[in-house]
Amino acid sequence: MSLTEQDAVQPASKSEVSNKNFATARQKVIATSLPRKWIVYSLFWVGFFFVLSKKISDAIRLRRDLQNAFTLHRRGSLRVKISDDFQIPFSARILGAAYVVMPTSLLRSKSDFRISLKHELEHHRQGDCAWTFWFEFLVAAFFWNPAIYLWRRTFSQLQELACDETLIGQMRISQQDYGSCLIRVAEAALIGRGLHGGTTCMISPTECKSRSFLARRIKMFTHHAQASRKRRFLTPIGILSLSALIAGAFVAQAALKNSKAPNPGKPEYLQPIQALVNEKLDQGITRYNASAGLAIVADAKRGTLLSVVGINKGFDKAMVGDWPLSYPLAPASAIKPIIVAGALQERKTTPDELHNCEKGSYKYGDTTFHDYKAFDFLSTTDTIAASSNICALKISQTLGPKGVQRALQNFGFGGNGALENFPSAGYGHLPSPDGFSDPEYLGSITLGSSEKTNFYITPAELISAYVILANGGKMMKAISYKQSGSPVELREVISSSVASKVRKMLSQVVESGTASNLKGGEVSVAGKTSTGQAKSGQWVTSFIGYAPAENPSVVTYVVLFDPKGKAVTGSSTAAYVFEDIVESVIPELGL
């Protein structure tokens, strides 16, 4: 055997064996560690993309909800919207646009609406919405770290405390008003749906359950008020007030979980009439396949509310209790006779004056207004009878924005009307012309639209205004059926002569106008048709008027929400329900 062959078959040395074993062990360790590392990496990326996909999905739903919400006001990149899908006001910033969404329930309280809106606008001023939005992506990246959720909550609480400090300090909002508003929003948060990620709100459902933070906020702005008075000693009254605020918050939260107490301010109605109206309204809702409806019947002479009925079959969750007295509505064409009455009172027009209807198309400012028919010239009377948008707008122009505002204020829209202290009743929102161009303001108010100006009324306001037209121009204090005493005349809004002229116009609506289908009924009626749309696009039809036409005894208002059919108008739906109601009510009253 050669030397080379002998060397080849010699056994390996101990050092060589040791090196070989080390290399083998190292390869095993590497082979074991690589899968573990990739498992960790894989789990991280799976978790990251899962959380991120949820955030993106939530952002898409948020954008959809913002699009579905009704726009109250728009200026620059800011959009103030209203929605009945949420119970808590919140703010968001998406694609450069700033949004504030207010729940419809806040429309019932001007003070709460104003305070909540200022709070959400302050979030935008401080840049909170942008920070909150980007924080959601940090949560996706660090989803595995429990500290990120604590940081997010702490960050959110600091934002709220900063807003509280600014509003009470710089904007001079009363601590009592602010605290009361905060508690009411907290109550709503406990029963409302959760909010989208990346949004800021006055108080979240999670924070409501943390009594310590709610108490901390109240203590914080109370302390601020004390410091502004040079840190005087707390008086017993101050201590009691603070205790009441905090205790009120806790009691309110507990009350939501217990049985609901009856409303002590609930008005009482004439029960036989209430039963009749409920029956006829329910039949009308079924006949026209509507999602909701309301009917109010009032004594034309005294202003007494004889019946208030609201039936909700899934149209709006806010339709609860005596909602027909305070539900926000765009009045549509029903507001036109009120504006015409104001123009007649100020001698800006006459019943026979002709107005150019521009053959159905009229550009005013940046907006082109249309009529459903190409009218040429119409008198003031025929403008109401035919419900011409363009000619009604021409009449509004004779008054000007301030004159239109004054006319509606005189009738009690927006406050200082017949509804003061009436249980469950509420006022709408009559905006000031300031900040709007003449075409924007007059176009919105005359057509009874909430678009651009956030103009809306409540059914109680509108029926009180038509009582003024029916009784000769006097505003009567609204009273419940069982309230004793003589009718209370608050003031004369228009002269009896002007009221008589407008009543003739409303009679013409039935004689030859948009409600001529009611002509020849068992009871002579007069009134005004209206056809509009809800914020979500559904039709809202109505008829408001009185009977008998020659000597009004009752004023009745009927509204149908989302009626179905080929031709959905006030005359083809709500007007027939109105007729059914008055033909049943008047004999029952012995009139």
pLDDT tens for each residue of 522-581:
899 999 999 998 877 899 999 999 999 999 999 999 999 999 988 899 999 999 999 999
Note the pLDDT of residue 292: 98
Beta bridge partners, 560, equal 293, 541
Same domain, 284 and 205: no
Residue at 23 is within a domain = no
Burial of 20 (0-12, 13-18, 19+ CB in 10 A): exposed
Residue at 212 is within a domain = yes
Last residue of a domain, one of 225, 256, 287: 256
Same domain, 193 and 287: no
The three-state secondary structure class of 235 is coil
Rama region for 240: left / alpha / beta (φ>0; ψ in -120 to 50; rest): alpha
Same domain, 345 and 238: no
Same domain, 210 and 318: no
Same domain, 241 and 303: no
Of the pLDDT bands very low, low, confident and very high (cuts 50, 70, 90), residue 277 is: very high
What CATH number has the domain bearing residue 285?
A: 3.40.710.10
Note the pLDDT of residue 196: 66
Residue at 261 is within a domain = no
Residue at 7 is within a domain = no
User: For a pLDDT cut of 70, what percent of the chain falls above it?
Assistant: 76
Identify the domain containing residue 179 by its residue range. Answer: 84-94+105-256
Note the pLDDT of residue 145: 74
Same domain, 278 and 408: yes
Last residue of a domain, one of 229, 256, 283: 256
What are the CA-CA distances from residue 124 to residues 87, 132, 178, 333, 411 (Å)? 20, 11, 19, 37, 37
Residue at 11 is within a domain = no
Residue at 146 is within a domain = yes
Residue 172 has pLDDT above 70, yes or no: no
Residue at 69 is within a domain = no
Last residue of a domain, one of 212, 229, 256: 256
Residue at 75 is within a domain = no
Total count of domains within the chain = 2
Note the pLDDT of residue 443: 96
Same domain, 334 and 476: yes
Compare 499 and 173 and report the one with higher pLDDT. 499
Note the pLDDT of residue 247: 42
